[in-house]
């Protein structure tokens, strides 16, 4: 099937929202070629690393099935993503089995981790969720308010072993996994979501150990890897990682990753650094990202999609490049979409 530029531009965007209903802008997005949604959490829930009591009490399996079936009325294949981290943010709360306590992870065998991850994935898949934005692979060895409470070890062998088992388990259950946040944010000056000056100052040698868990995830056939939102000066002094071809090339060329490269939140303050959201999106695609995480706020979905179309028509983005990314995302959606 041949797709239009407009359809391709929508296919590479992942709209995020925290309410369990589709906005008119999201419905329009899906009608115009979009094939994904991220059922997110509120800022308060994100900061607390737990879903609110109100959400836990009000959300039922039917809540998920209702919004996902509504989205599926606009598109045949659909990626439905959530944050379901090991020891971090668990968007599915008590609707699915729980991971072991962080303190116990070192003692839990690979087989046990894979099995519980399989059960979490299976329960989520039964509710229509088929993509986890997890596991978190960053080895936090310094200050990191952004990832505080979302990691469980600074030992690359432990993180790699646990994460690979998680990937194998959830993907066996029909849920695509997303390893994050490349190239690894072990030490950062602030929270990139709200601090425009947040940056990783450390030298390239400090990243070497942190690459090992990503290599383990790749060996486990992880479907996607997310590029982080802030500048990592060791690789690029000027552009946030997700906007930097230098960073993406390390993942694709040095680590030989051939799957989908996802850009973290385009509207993080440390990513934008006073640039417009459209500029950030174009930079991310040109850097080599295939899939763009974007909050469904105001007209952002339509504005970014239009910017991508205009960039192709103006020769600022390769038509083939955009089509290739869109087809990678479509193929993933087809692979993991099932009738619920």
Residue 340 has pLDDT above 70, yes or no: no
Of the pLDDT bands very low, low, confident and very high (cuts 50, 70, 90), residue 96 is very high
CA nearest to 29, candidates 44, 39, 14, 18: 14
Mean pLDDT for the stretch of residues 47-64: 96
Of the pLDDT bands very low, low, confident and very high (cuts 50, 70, 90), residue 247 is very high
Alpha-carbon distance of 221 to 284, in angstroms, equals 23
Amino acid 103: pLDDT? 84
Q: Where does residue 64 rank: exposed (0-12), middle (13-18), buried (19+ CB within 10 A)? A: buried
Amino acid 229: pLDDT? 98
Element (H, E) at 43: helix 43-48
Is residue 174 within 8 Å of 337, Cβ to Cβ? no
Amino acid 265: pLDDT? 97
Q: What is the mean pLDDT of the chain?
A: 96
Mean pLDDT for the stretch of residues 23-38: 98
CB crowding 8-25: b at 16 or more within 10 Å, else e: bbbbbbbbbbbeeebeeb
Q: What angle do CA 45, 86, 252 make, to 5 degrees?
A: 105
Residue 339 has pLDDT above 50, yes or no: no
Q: Which two tokens stand for residue 57?
A: 């009490």
pTM of the model: 0.97
Q: How many CA atoms lie within 13 A of 63 on its CB side?
A: 13
pLDDT tens profile 183-235 = 999 999 999 999 999 999 999 999 999 999 999 999 999 999 999 999 999 99
Alpha-carbon distance of 79 to 181, in angstroms, equals 20
Of the pLDDT bands very low, low, confident and very high (cuts 50, 70, 90), residue 107 is confident
What's phi and psi for 40, nearest 5 deg?
-95, -165
Residue 166 has pLDDT above 60, yes or no: yes
Of the pLDDT bands very low, low, confident and very high (cuts 50, 70, 90), residue 6 is very high
Alpha-carbon distance of 178 to 159, in angstroms, equals 14
SS3 state of residue 261: strand
Of the pLDDT bands very low, low, confident and very high (cuts 50, 70, 90), residue 21 is very high
């Amino acid at each position: 099937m041949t797709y239009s530029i407009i359809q391709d531009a929508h296919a590479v965007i992942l709209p995020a929202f925290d309410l369990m209903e589709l906005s008119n802008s999201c419905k329009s997005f899906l009608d115009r070629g979009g094939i994904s949604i991220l059922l997110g959490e509120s800022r308060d829930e994100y900061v607390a690393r737990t879903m609110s009591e109100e959400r836990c009490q009000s959300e039922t399996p039917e809540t998920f099935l209702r919004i996902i079936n509504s989205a599926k009325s606009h598109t045949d294949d659909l990626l439905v993503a959530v944050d379901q981290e090991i020891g971090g943010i668990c968007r599915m709360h008590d609707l699915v089995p729980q991971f072991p306590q962080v303190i116990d992870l070192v003692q839990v065998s690979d087989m046990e981790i894979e099995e519980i991850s399989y059960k979490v994935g299976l329960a989520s898949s039964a509710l229509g969720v088929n993509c986890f934005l997890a596991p978190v692979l960053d080895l936090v060895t310094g200050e990191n308010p952004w990832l505080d409470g979302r990691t469980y070890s600074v030992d690359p062998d432990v993180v790699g072993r646990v994460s690979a088992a998680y990937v194998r388990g959830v993907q066996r259950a029909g849920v695509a996994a997303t390893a994050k946040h490349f190239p690894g944010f072990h030490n950062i000056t602030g929270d990139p979501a709200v601090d425009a000056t947040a940056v990783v100052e450390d030298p390239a040698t400090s990243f070497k150990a942190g690459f090992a868990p990503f290599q383990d995830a790749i060996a486990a056939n992880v479907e996607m890897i997310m590029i982080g939102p802030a500048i990592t000066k060791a690789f690029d002094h000027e552009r946030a990682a997700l906007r930097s071809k230098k960073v993406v090339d390390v993942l694709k060329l040095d680590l030989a990753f051939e799957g989908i490269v996802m850009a973290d939140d385009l509207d993080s303050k440390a990513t934008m650094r006073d640039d417009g959201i459209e500029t950030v999106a174009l930079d991310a695609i040109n850097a080599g990202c295939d899939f763009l995480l974007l909050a469904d706020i105001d007209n952002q979905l339509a504005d970014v999609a239009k910017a991508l179309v205009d960039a192709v028509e103006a020769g600022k983005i390769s038509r083939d490049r955009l089509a290739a990314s869109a087809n990678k995302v479509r193929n993933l959606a087809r692979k993991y979409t099932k009738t619920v």
